[in-house]
Amino acid sequence: MNLPTIIICVILVIIICIGIRSTKKRATSGCCGSSETIKKVRVKDKNKEHYPYKAVLKVYDIHCQSCVHTIENAFNSQEGFTAKVNTEDNTVTILSKQQHPIDELINTLSNVGYISKAI
């Protein structure tokens, strides 16, 4: 083997090792690099008839199940809210017992690190 071939082979091996390590990290901790599993908060009142107000927000940068749990937990941990993320269109549907301004809901997502807008 000549020197250029050896150098190219070494570079390819390094790239493959980095790719394997990255894939392994994502498989064990989600794509956002969080090393801890985010536990889903369950709402106490599951009767949707008790939540007459509905808002749908477009949320940017939903990558994995950790993102989904973080977004849903931002609302489900508060009394009078229930939220469900739709990963197909990157939206969150928020049901509430009292009417809240859209800016307040957007601010709640901003506080957990997500940019959103009303649909």
In a domain, 42, yes or no: no
DSSP 90: T
Q: What percent of the chain has pLDDT over 70?
A: 90
Do 53 and 107 fall within a single domain? yes
Tokens standing for residue 60: 């940017």
- Grade residue 32 by pLDDT with cuts at 50, 70 and 90: low
Q: Structural domain tally of the chain?
A: 2
pLDDT given for residue 28 in this prediction: 59
In a domain, 34, yes or no: no
Tokens standing for residue 117: 């807008």
Do 58 and 87 fall within a single domain? yes
pLDDT given for residue 38 in this prediction: 79
Q: State how far the Cα of 80 lies from the Cα of 98, in Å rounded to an integer.
A: 7
pLDDT given for residue 70 in this prediction: 94
Q: State how far the Cα of 69 lies from the Cα of 113, in Å rounded to an integer.
A: 13
Residue 74 structural domain? 48-118
- Grade residue 21 by pLDDT with cuts at 50, 70 and 90: confident
77 touches 38 (CB < 8 A): no
In a domain, 97, yes or no: yes
